[in-house]
Amino acid sequence: MLKSIAVMTSGGDSPGMNACARAVVRTALYEGVDVWGIRSGYHGLLEEDMFKMERKDVSDIIQRGGTFLGTARCKRWKTPEGRRLGYENLKKRGIEGLVVIGGDGSLRGASLLSKETGMPIVGLPGTIDNDVWGMDYTIGCDTAANTIVDAINKLRDTASAHRRVIVLEVMGRQCGWLALVSGISGGAEYILIPEEEYDLDEICKDMAEAYKKGKRYILMVVAEGAGSGTEIGKYVAEKTKLDTRVSVLGHIQRGGSPSVIDRVRASQLGEKAALAIISGMSDIVFGFAKGHVVAIDLHDAVNNKKKIDPDYMHLAKVLF
Ligand code: ADP
């Protein structure tokens, strides 16, 4: 049994990170284990910006987006010297294990720390992109998808009023999950994702035909990894001569009060991670797959590329 652990959030923030860190802290305290909070991710670890936490330090945060611990990107962590210093900063406080809540990059950094120093690590997937291999859910993806669907609903009103084509660019890095599920939920006519090739000329022809047959408006969701919404919108306008507008949703997708799903799942994952690290486990990431908690090998999680669910792709085509 470990006697003292630490938790941090790192990389891009996502709604539910607070609920997750809260669960890690309260589970550790419930088990009688000391728990440290590290501010600003790996940057804070190198700057020794950390504090021993009490129950009340995580009060009033479950409903908040962002992360009360702060997050950062840290170049120095990419060097072995940086990671060695991080290890020493943990060791000199008697911290015996680290829980990292973050995306792909943060988990990769955690995996290297464990490999080089033997520091026990448990990872938790905190990212709206839902791009971590071995799981079909990451903390924050549900809230972000709901934010996008809300935007699609509003864009539909104005698209319909003006008979416009609306192109909406959404986040997701190289993963099309956010675009696909929000496009399906919002009833978009076209969904462009990086995992699937598309022929824009063919789509433009299709659109023009549809308008001729009386279609009043068209919604197209573009994953950022599939191309620039602005460029695609410009191309569609030129090719089809249809009244086209582009909306790039941007950072609004990262914020907001987490959904019930994100709060509950983040809490469940936080509890599992705390129990695992306390009991001496290491090099795993907890996530959800098919509705159940799964433990994925950390090395596998960061070294494999997630594939998009073909059922979703098929559904999008059927419902078009
Ligand atoms: P995310 O965790 O959301 O994917 P980043 O990719 O920016 O965000 O990663 C967050 C931080 O994790 C980086 O600033 C860096 O400190 C660390 N990190 C990312 N990739 C690596 C890597 N290949 N090796 C070591 N550390 C990394």
Q: What percent of the chain has pLDDT over 70?
A: 100
Model confidence pLDDT, tens digit, residues 260-309: 999 999 999 999 999 999 999 999 999 999 999 999 999 999 999 999 99
Reported as a pLDDT band with limits 50, 70 and 90, residue 222 is very high
CA 11 to ligand 1 center in whole angstroms? 6
* Closest residue CA from atom 13 of ligand 1: 73
**Confidence check: pLDDT of 236 > 90:** yes
Ligand 1 in reach of 16 Cβ (< 6 A): no
34 Rama class: left (phi>0) / alpha (psi -120 to 50) / beta = beta
Name the catalytic one among 13, 104, 129, 262.
129
CA 166 to ligand 1 center in whole angstroms? 34
Model confidence pLDDT, tens digit, residues 74-128: 999 999 999 999 999 999 999 999 999 999 999 999 999 999 999 999 999 999 9
Closest approach atom of ligand 1 to CA 107: 2
* Best mutation site among 46, 100, 108, 130 for ligand 1 pocket (most ligand atoms within 8 Å of CB): 108
* Per-residue pLDDT, 320: 84
